Amino acid sequence: MTKKYQIRKAFKTYIPEKENWKTVSETPATNVMHWYRDGSGYKGCFGAGLYEPGKNYKRNWFLGTMATVFQAEVLGIKKCSELLVSRMTTKKHIFVWSDSQAAIKALLNPSADSKLGWETMESLQKLGTNNTVTLSWILVHEHIHDNEMAVGLVKQGATQGESPKAWKYKICRKARAIMPDPSKKRSKHLLVMDRKSLAIMITLLTGHDRFKEHCRVIGMDSDGRCRFYNETKEDSLHILCDCPALAATKLRWWGTAFLTTSQVTSKEATDLLRLGKKAGLHI
Ligand SMILES: [Zn+2]
């Protein structure tokens, strides 16, 4: 492609200091939209994920083996702005959060020599004409402590106590979304885990204990919002399925940035345990 130029940009960029990014993502105004995107590689294939907590919108795209992580990052931004343009979004303050400063800086560049880069610039330009668009950088949470839990024992009986009859009651909505039916295989895997791992699994599968939304319900947390980006309430489904802070990890491990509840159901207990540790669900 011959080089194309975009001198004036209809979007701003924001690369906050570590201590400031939380305040921005908490902005509660009604005409503010927060979109999170991720680009990452998995087994030599690259893809992008897009997530909007307000409407619980999530999608993945795959670029195949010929792409790079950088292209996946830019693709995520392109898909986001194209989607908002196609919805005829106007008069909104739109924050597109990306963990790639390289992608943000490339789009700020006055010239583009790739089709993808140019189309993304054009799309952002269209979106920025009727909205205030900010490409914002957000920290990647790769440093989340993977260390073992120190304390915290949950009685094994908590998993054994459920009889098939219990599934008929309309309680424990989150637990039943992830475990729609009793599973002997899952029980078997859980019961051979050490107690610390089992505690994490029970937290994940029941949505109790360490989740901030649960802490809010029992009066131990003021807002119940996600520990990573404050973007929405933090419950088990958010961490297992939607959390943008864990999207790159899921994409790398499993080839999909955002999981549906049935994908969670079909995951091995050891996979979910690994994710629980990554999310810092240690006691
Ligand atoms: Zn989150």
**Cα 85 to ligand 1 centre (Å):** 25
Cα torsion through 82, 94, 250, 155, rounded to 10: -140
Identify the pLDDT of residue 29: 55
In this predicted structure, what is the pLDDT of residue 194?
Answer: 87
Q: How far apart are CA 35 and CA 94, in angstroms?
A: 8
Query: For the chain, where are the alpha helices, taking DSSP H only?
Result: 21-25, 69-86, 101-108, 115-130, 157-160, 173-178, 184-191, 195-206, 212-217, 236-237, 244-254, 261-266, 269-278
- Residue 218 DSSP SS3: coil
Question: Could you read off the pLDDT tens digit of each residue along the chain, which spans 283 residues?
Answer: 788 999 899 998 887 766 665 555 444 456 777 777 766 665 566 677 777 777 778 777 777 666 677 888 888 899 899 999 999 999 998 888 887 888 898 999 999 989 999 999 999 999 999 999 988 887 654 332 222 221 111 122 222 333 444 445 455 677 778 887 778 888 888 888 888 888 888 888 888 777 888 777 777 778 889 988 888 889 899 999 989 889 888 988 988 888 998 999 999 999 999 999 999 887 5
Q: Ligand 1 centre and the CA of 44: distance in Å?
A: 26
Provide the Cα torsion 222, 226, 232, 236; round to 10°.
-110
> What pairing do the DSSP bridges indicate for beta strands 93-98 and 32-42?
parallel
| Amino acid 73: pLDDT | 83
Question: What token pair was written down for 80?
Answer: 């986001």
CA–chain centroid gap for 206, Å, is: 20
Looking at residue 124, its pLDDT comes to 96
State whether residue 283 is helix, strand or coil. Answer: coil
Question: How many angstroms separate the alpha carbon of residue 97 from the centre of ligand 1?
Answer: 13
Going from the Cα of 64 to the center of ligand 1, the distance in angstroms, rounded, reads: 27
Q: Regarding beta strands 111-112 and 11-14, do their DSSP bridges make them parallel or antiparallel, or are they unpaired?
A: unpaired
Contact 89, 127 (CB under 8 A): yes
pLDDT, position 129: 95
Residue 276 has which token pair?
A: 């629980």
∠ CA 269-167-58, nearest 5°, is 55
